């Protein structure tokens, strides 16, 4: 297949934005999708690159050139730019592709990336099928049957499971399973152990409970071990630590079976690319939905529906961010992928995409919370503190090839939740995310911290969703620092019930300034004296302004306490006999850097 063949595919309406005849003659080896601005390290020579151009903004004049430079360095065959996000292919991108001699094709809004991917793979598979029989480890009859199975449309899990089971049965392979790069089980020919035999629809357990294999993240693969944990990559590695597919035999396959498994992994690669393209399209739709909410534009119901979200049940916003060594947002693509992986475990409809803050934002359909099946879910963090209100929620797993998570059974509310449901559902969702978060954090490099914030469940209208998104962002900022309720990387707006929690959500510049403005005289005093007035103030407020208990705690005479408090009042200009001043000084202490 060559690049020019794309212009002749019936029904796709792909256009030529720029390209010469010799460039259109480039050979195509595969297709991938990306919305990273610098995806070079994830691309391979000869690939077609699909991009929804989510990364491009009119005010960033150099963005298109950087993107094209990245594609040229990877040696891709051509770029297919979707027109759905911006209405047309930007002129700056056309100029950048001309500069780097990259064929640029346009994909109209009515043509999905999944359709393009499928048509390309049909062409590529046809060539593979016709010319590799003599070298393929797979018998031709088995290869035909597997290709037919992989062409079936339906839930991703069903297609993969059917193909794996057929391969194991007809080729004598050991049982095997397919996992995502983060360890999420996609399909298996047979549960590798009794623990993975749990039904795919389950209720959320206690704070320390577990769920079935479909809802857990496996440990990272141990490359080169030679044992059953050895895994084969299906297609190219993902753009983030959470992407990509892996084929894992449950037992040591032996040399002959290992060769056949390698061929099976190659056969599954186009399906992995198809799922990846579907996920990219879903994230583009989510990005458009988030922009629509931010701009208070019309058509919210249609945008929600295009993302697969219901319009008659409450939605819960969830934000996620990866903090780099300096505390600033880092690697937004990984934040989106990590949050998507977490939400896939829950079997609830969701839409997740990149946000303007350098992280990820998702809208999740609120789960049905039922009081009769009482199950304790954690408050501050899994395994810490007293259990919160006893509730139960039913989740189910049914992820389709498109990358969206859908629910079945009673996983979704059949009606708009009651006020009690709206209050309990975010707490249940927070508890489940906290159980999943350590495994996701383990996929990141050192000095990178994955954090999240869960907002309230609200009606799916613009005003309430915008307010809930603000609360989710505040919960993210308030979580992950300090102890107690902040000791978890997943914060919840429902836990913002104290002054300390409220202050943790403020920007660091604000809290540092407030601390210095009120307490700088005490800080200067303590630098030059052995007696700590800051410590005295903290102890005095901790003991509710009791002179006697403060003296006992500091092991000093009560008259000394009186003297120090007078000195604090002189330096700060505040009176500790007034509640308002006590609150101000307590807040300043809590804002200590």
Domain match, 71 and 181 both: no
Q: How many domains does the chain have?
A: 4
Q: Are residues 350 and 482 in the same domain?
A: yes
512-532 pLDDT per residue, tens: 899 999 999 999 999 999 999
Residues 110 and 149 in one domain: no
What is the pLDDT, as a whole number, of residue 226?
A: 41
As a whole number of angstroms, the distance between CA 33 and CA 254 comes to: 35
Q: 358 and 494 share a domain?
A: yes
Q: Which of 238, 273, 455, 502 is nearest to 355 (CA)?
A: 455
* Residues 198-234: tens digit of each pLDDT: 333 333 333 333 333 334 455 444 333 344 447 899 9
Overall average pLDDT of the 90-108 stretch: 95
End-of-domain residue from the set 217, 244, 274: 274
pLDDT, mean over the chain: 79
* Residues 352, 286 contacting (CB under 8 angstroms): yes
At residue 411, does pLDDT exceed 60? no
For residues 68 and 161, state if they share a domain.
no
Do the beta carbons of residue 150 and residue 268 sit within 8 Å?
yes
Using the predicted structure, report yes or no on whether residue 30 has a pLDDT greater than 80. Answer: yes
Higher pLDDT, residue 347 or 486: 347
**Mean pLDDT of the 167-182 span:** 87
**Strand 245-249, strand 405-406: pairing:** unpaired
If one counts every other C-beta atom within 10 angstroms of the C-beta of residue 355, the result is 24
- Show Cβ contacts of residue 403 under 8 Å, excluding neighbours closer than 6 positions: 275, 276, 278, 279, 280, 281, 282, 283, 340
Q: Does the residue 125 lie in any domain? A: no
Residue 176 lies in a domain: yes
Predicted confidence (pLDDT) at residue 191 exceeds the cutoff of 50: yes
In a domain, 343, yes or no: yes
The pLDDT, as a whole number, for residue 199 is 34
pLDDT of residue 137: 67
Domain extent, residue 33, equals: 3-117
The answer on 432 and 335 residing in a single domain is: yes
Please tell me the distance from the alpha carbon of residue 145 to that of residue 140, in angstroms, as a whole number. 9
Q: Are residues 337 and 393 in the same domain?
A: yes
Is the pLDDT assigned to residue 9 strictly greater than 70? yes
32 belongs to a structural domain: yes
Most confident of 153-157, 292-296, 317-321: 317-321
Residue 543: pLDDT band with limits 50, 70, 90 = very high
- Are 269 and 210 within one domain? yes
**Which one has a higher pLDDT value, 10 or 148?**
10
Instruction: Give the least confident one: 312-321, 382-391, 580-589.
Output: 382-391
**If you average pLDDT over residues 525-540, what whole number do you get?**
93
Strand partners, 281: none
Position 285 in a domain: no
Is residue 280 domain-resident? no
User: What gap in Å lies between CA 557 and CA 548, rounded to an integer?
Assistant: 9
User: Within this chain, do residues 160 and 240 fall inside the same structural domain, yes or no?
Assistant: yes
If you search the block for the tokens 């360095």, which residue do you land on? Answer: 73
**Would you say residue 126 lies in a domain?**
no
Quick one: pLDDT band at residue 318, thresholds 50, 70, 90? Answer: very high
Same-domain check for residues 490 and 351: yes
Q: 484 and 418, same structural domain?
A: yes
Give the CATH number for residue 190. 3.30.450
**Which CATH number goes with the domain that contains 571?**
1.10.10.2840
From first CA to last CA, the distance across the chain in angstroms is 60
Same domain, 8 and 61: yes
- Whether the per-residue pLDDT at 297 is higher than 80: the answer is no
CA–CA distances in Å: residue 480 to residues 320, 333, 474: 12, 21, 12
Alpha carbon distance 10, 242 (integer Å): 35
Q: Which of 381-390, 538-547, 575-584 is predicted with the least confidence, judged by mean pLDDT?
A: 381-390
Question: Which of 85, 117, 149 corresponds to the end of one domain?
Answer: 117
Q: Provide the percentage of residues in the chain whose pLDDT is more than 70.
A: 79
Residue 284 lies in a domain: no
pLDDT bin (cut points 50, 70, 90) of residue 394 is very low
Q: What is the CATH number of the domain that holds 21?
A: 3.40.1390.20
| Residue 379, both tokens | 């408050």
Residue 380 predicted with pLDDT over 60: no
């Amino acid at each position: 297949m060559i690049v020019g063949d794309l212009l002749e595919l019936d029904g796709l309406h792909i256009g030529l934005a720029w390209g010469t005849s010799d460039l259109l003659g480039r050979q195509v080896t595969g297709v991938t999708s990306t919305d990273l601005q610098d995806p070079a390290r994830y691309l391979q020579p000869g690939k077609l690159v699909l991009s929804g151009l989510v990364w491009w903004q009119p005010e960033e004049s150099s963005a298109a050139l950087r993107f094209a430079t990245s594609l040229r360095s990877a040696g891709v065959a051509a770029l297919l730019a979707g027109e759905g996000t911006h209405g047309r292919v930007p002129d700056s991108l056309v100029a950048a592709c001309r500069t780097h001699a990259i064929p640029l094709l346009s994909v109209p809004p009515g043509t999905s990336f999944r359709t393009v991917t499928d048509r390309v793979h049909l062409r590529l598979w046809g060539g593979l099928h016709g010319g590799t029989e003599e070298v393929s480890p797979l018998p031709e009859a088995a290869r035909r049957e597997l290709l037919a199975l992989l062409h079936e449309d339906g839930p991703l899990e069903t297609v993969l499971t059917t193909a794996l089971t057929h391969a194991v049965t007809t080729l004598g392979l050991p049982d095997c399973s397919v996992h995502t790069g983060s360890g999420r089980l996609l399909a298996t020919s047979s549960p590798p152990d009794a623990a993975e035999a749990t039904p795919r629809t389950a209720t959320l357990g206690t704070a320390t409970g577990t769920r079935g294999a479909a809802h857990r993240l496996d440990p990272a693969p141990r490359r080169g071990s030679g044992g059953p944990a050895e895994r084969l990559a299906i297609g190219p590695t993902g753009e983030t630590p959470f992407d990509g597919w892996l084929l894992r035999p449950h037992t040591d396959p032996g040399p002959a079976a290992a060769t056949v498994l390698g061929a099976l992994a190659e056969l599954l690669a186009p399906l992995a690319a198809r799922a990846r393209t579907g996920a990219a399209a879903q994230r583009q739709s989510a990005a458009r939905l988030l922009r629509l909410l931010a701009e208070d534009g019309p058509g919210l119901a249609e945008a929600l529906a295009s993302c697969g979200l219901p319009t008659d049940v409450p939605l819960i916003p969830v934000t996620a961010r990866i903090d780099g060594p300096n505390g600033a947002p880092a690697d937004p693509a990984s934040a989106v992928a990590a949050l998507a992986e977490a939400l896939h475990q829950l079997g609830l409809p969701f839409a997740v995409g990149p946000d303007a803050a350098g992280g990820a934002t998702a809208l999740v359909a609120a789960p049905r919370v039922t009081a009769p099946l009482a199950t304790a879910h954690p408050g501050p963090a899994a395994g810490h503190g007293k259990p919160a209100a006893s509730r139960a929620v039913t989740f189910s797993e049914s992820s389709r090839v498109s990358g969206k998570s859908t629910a079945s059974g009673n996983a979704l509310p059949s009606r708009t939740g009651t006020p009690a449901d709206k209050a309990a559902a975010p707490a249940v969702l927070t508890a489940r995310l906290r159980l999943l978060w350590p495994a996701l954090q383990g996929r990141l490099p050192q000095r990178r911290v994955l954090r999240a914030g869960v907002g309230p469940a609200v009606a799916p209208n613009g005003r309430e969703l915008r307010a809930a998104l603000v609360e989710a962002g505040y919960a993210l900022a308030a979580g992950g620092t300090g102890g107690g309720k902040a000791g978890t990387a997943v914060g919840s707006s429902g836990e913002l019930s104290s002054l300390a929690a409220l202050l943790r959500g403020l920007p660091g510049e604000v809290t540092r300034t407030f601390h210095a403005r009120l307490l700088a005289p005490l800080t200067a005093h303590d630098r030059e004296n052995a007696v700590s007035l800051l410590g005295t103030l903290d102890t005095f407020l901790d003991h509710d302004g009791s002179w006697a208990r403060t003296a006992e705690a500091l092991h000093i005479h009560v008259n000394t306490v009186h003297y120090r408090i007078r000195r604090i009042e002189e330096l700060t200009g505040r009176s500790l006999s007034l509640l308002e001043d006590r609150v101000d000084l307590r807040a300043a202490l809590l804002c200590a850097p």
